[in-house]
Amino acid sequence: MAEKFDLNEREVWDGNYAASQALRQADVDVVAAYPITPSTPIVENYGSYVANGYIDGEFIMVESEHAAMSGCIGASAAGGRVATATSSQGFALMAEVLYQASGMRLPIVLNVVNRALASPLNVSGDHSDMYLGRDSGWIQMDAFNAQEAYDLTLCAFKIGENHSVRLPVMVHQDGFTTSHTAQNTYPLTDEAAAKFVGKIVPVDDMLDFSRPVTYGAQTESDWHFEHKIKQHKAIMDSRPVIDEVYAEFEKLTGREYKRVESYNMEDADVAIVALGTTVETARIAAEELKSEGIKAGIVAIRCFRPFPFDQVREALKNVKCVSVLDRSSPAGAMGAFFNEVSAALYTTASRPLVTNFIYGLGGRDFSIEEAKRIFKEQQAHADAGHITTDIQQFSGLRGPYLGFFQTKRG
């Protein structure tokens, strides 16, 4: 692998270290950060690279995550390459400023190490914070392991800074399951990574005194609508740029990424749609079920925003039953991920049966056996021609809660 492509020898990195190495190789100018578990090592490592003279950047310690993103906005508006990282409550505190960054079209890169939102307080991983940011106007990509946390962070700079995009980008990874799990990782050489990302070419930077610009302007009913639609168009138009960057990265490394990735879907009757580390668990389960005659496939969403409705429809058009796995509390509704996938499938001619599993909240483990159980249940629905249980179920509850929400339909 290292001989064919311009890669370093194999490293053993966790997701946090992998992301921080990508920030170093991308020659980030400014990281403004406030630490929070489990994302702290990303910015902590960047700070050590600056302190030890490995890179010529600025590490700004601020008083909160709100201030961290505010500092990133100022540095990006000035024309710098800017990044930071956060999780959970820090992400929630940062949420107000996320909308400012996207509205100003600033290509900041944010590594989000996904963690449950309080209350009760929990430092382990689920996707509550990912879903909190889904309407903030940021491109959102999801890494399933440490290698992908590294790869997608490099891609994020190249995507966001493209002059036809000019939008901020989040790179998500599962808290602890990815962020603190050491795995084989094959990084690019420093030279190859720098060449791939390229130098930032600022647009409307505030330090260009020959052409004064305004950031943070106010619009009311006269132009606000048009401004937001232009922003929406920009994020939708980013799709071919994302595809082009992924294709370029594949040529450089041999590692292929797509906005929607399918496994064993060629003749699948049933499928799981998932994000994060769950994808790899489901893939193992699907392989093991082949011996039982169950044709199970997995559809993984790599790019959560812009949501790939057309590609989801195409990937699932021939299956009989689909289960969408949401790693976040539905809070009185169907899961957020389920709603998006269902909306994509509603206009298909085949209209497969769709169920929703809420799972893994607060870091609860999701096992291969549980994935197999879900696949088998979807097969039962497919054989019956209708959903035989509640549409929404809760996977992995303990004790008296185990079957509380899993009543049969009358």
- pLDDT tens-digit profile of 182-231? 999 999 999 999 999 999 999 999 999 999 999 999 999 999 999 999 99
Q: What pTM was estimated for this model as a whole?
A: 0.96
280-303 per-position pLDDT tens digit: 999 999 999 999 999 999 999 999
CA dist., res. 131 & res. 140, Å (int):
10
Comparing CA positions, the residue from 150, 299, 300, 168 lying closest to residue 238 is 168
Which structural domains are found in the chain, ordered by start? 11-253 (3.40.50.970), 260-401 (3.40.50.920)
Phi-psi region of 87 (alpha: psi -120 to 50; beta: other; left: phi over 0): beta
Q: Are 167 and 369 in contact (CB under 8 A)?
A: no
Q: Count how many residues are written for the chain.
A: 410
Task: Give me the torsion for CA of 205, 68, 142, 238, rounded to 10°.
Answer: -20
Percentage of the chain lying above the pLDDT 70 cut: 96
124-177 per-position pLDDT tens digit: 999 999 999 999 999 999 999 999 999 999 999 999 999 999 999 999 999 999
pLDDT at 348: 87
Name the packing angle between helices 88-103 and 224-237 (round to 10°): 110
Phi-psi region of 217 (alpha: psi -120 to 50; beta: other; left: phi over 0): beta
353-371 per-position pLDDT tens digit: 999 999 999 999 999 999 9
Give, in degrees to the nearest 5, the angle at Cα 34 between 30 and 38.
Answer: 110
Strands annotated E in 164-315 = 169-174, 183-185, 260-263, 270-274, 296-301, 303-305
Percentage of the chain lying above the pLDDT 90 cut: 93
How large is the average pLDDT for residues 66-77?
A: 98
How large is the average pLDDT for residues 19-38?
A: 98
How large is the average pLDDT for residues 228-249?
A: 98
pLDDT at 162: 98
Q: Are 132 and 93 in contact (CB under 8 A)?
A: no
Comparing CA positions, the residue from 403, 257, 409, 260 lying closest to residue 341 is 260
pLDDT at 406: 52
- R_g of the chain, CA atoms, integer Å: 21
pLDDT at 30: 98
Q: Are 98 and 134 in contact (CB under 8 A)?
A: no
Q: Are 165 and 157 in contact (CB under 8 A)?
A: no
At residue 173, what are phi and psi to the nearest 5 degrees?
A: -145, 150
How large is the average pLDDT for residues 238-248?
A: 98
Q: Are 37 and 115 in contact (CB under 8 A)?
A: yes
